[in-house]
Amino acid sequence: MTKGTIGILTGGGDVPGLNPAIRAATIRAVKEGYKVIGIKNGWKGLINIDRDKPLSEQKYVMPLDISAVQAVGRRGGTFLHSARTNPLHIKKNDVPFRLQSEYQLDDNDLTPEVVKNLDYLGINYLIPIGGDDTLSYGAHLHKQGFKCVAIPKTMDNDVSGTEYCIGFSTCVTRTVHYTRQLRTCAGSHERFLVVEVFGRYAGFSSLIPCLAGAADRCVIPEHKFDIDRLTELMVYDKRNNPSAYSVLFVSEGAMFEGGEMIFENDEKDGFGHKKLGGIGDLVALKLKELSPKYNGGEKISSITQRLGYLVRSGDPDAIDSMVSMAFANLAMSYIMEGKSGIMVCLRKGRYESVPLDVVISYKKLVDVSKFYDINRYRPRYENFEDKPMWII
């Protein structure tokens, strides 16, 4: 006899800290008398369950116990795998083959199948681990009457309702580390170093590493930048650096004054997002083009690097290992108390919860007036008294 069955899934981009969260939730659940089922490939897995097959033959289902998760906590990524599937919007060609006769619209809502599949698997509670896209569907499921307790993760740290998301600390650590490595190249050739980092709508993953001293300037999605002024500042930084180089962080969602976001192509994921990329290269080209204006007529070349998946790969750092364990155990505590429709979170430096629909109630963005100097394109360093550990 068990107290019930708990399902765990991970959705969206992978980050270090997911495996420790799965491990901690599974171990706590099993020790408290629950059965645990891992859903592979996030929401995609839940629309692809074949109810005509026994549990042992399900491609997207993995029964979890202590022995299955014991060693995964040290590894990055997610062994349950992930996807950017949104069951509310499934294209006709992406509907599972066995369901294509029933769902023939260009845009299909497969929530009825998700609910039936959860019932078929005997899952009483679901722990979705993801960013605002993944958790927005968790909020939708809760409104359909299914019990969910969510865990926030994203290296952009932009999930509303929490000061911290799993993956952010490792992202900052990797960003600082790799930028320091790249400084040797920039210094050797006396160039600008332009580093493109993640951050679609929010500039936390650019601003915080800059605050930690990894770059001289940063441009973020929340404030469009004047490339002429930015060039002037970069030349100034280079001139005042004994090694004659300067460093700039560019969020992937940053925009030129008068411009829009730069996309790799027009293809969209299940949540309507196009893949960003390329703004760093464009900024580097413009810096070189405009640099003679502030450098006595001489051009300054750039070294450009898109950090990309380097900052979300590898093992979690100490903070992400600790926070993921705490979030998972807190989620289990709430489940045991019979609570649902909530997301575990950190607020004012303390672990607690917020209603799950907070993730769709507003966008978590950098407060530019408090934390970003729009004239100098860098963080404000004025007063840290009474600020949380992550400052912003």
Give 38-85 pLDDT, tens digit per residue.
999 999 999 999 999 998 899 999 999 999 999 998 899 999 999 999
Q: What is the mean pLDDT of residues 333-354?
A: 96
Q: Residue 65: its pLDDT value, please?
A: 96
Q: Residue 2: its pLDDT value, please?
A: 81
Q: Residue 390: its pLDDT value, please?
A: 83
Quick check: 213 pLDDT over 90?
yes
pLDDT digits (tens, 9 = 90+) for 278-291: 899 999 999 999 99
pTM, two decimals, is 0.94
Quick check: 211 pLDDT over 70?
yes
Q: What domains lie within the chain, and their CATH numbers? A: 5-166+316-360 (3.40.50.450), 169-313+368-379 (3.40.50.460)
Phi, psi values for residue 147, rounded to 5°: -80, 125
Give the DSSP H/E element, type plus range, for residue 174. Answer: helix 168-189
**SS3 state at 199:** coil
Mean pLDDT for the chain overall: 95
Roughly what angle, to the nearest 10 degrees, separates helices 18-31 and 318-336?
Answer: 40
Q: Residue 381: its pLDDT value, please?
A: 87
Catalytic status, residue 133: no
Q: Which two tokens stand for residue 108?
A: 């299909």
Catalytic residue among 14, 132, 133, 156: 156
- If you count them, how many residues does the chain have? 392
**SS3 state at 165:** coil
The band of 389, judged by pLDDT with boundaries at 50, 70 and 90, is confident
Ranges assigned E (strand) in the chain: 5-10, 35-39, 61-64, 90-91, 107-108, 125-130, 147-152, 192-197, 217-219, 246-251, 263-268, 274-276, 302-306, 342-347, 350-355, 372-373, 378-379
Q: What is the spatial order of strands in the sheet that 302-306 belongs to?
A: 217-219, 246-251, 192-197, 302-306
Per cent of the chain over pLDDT 70 is: 100
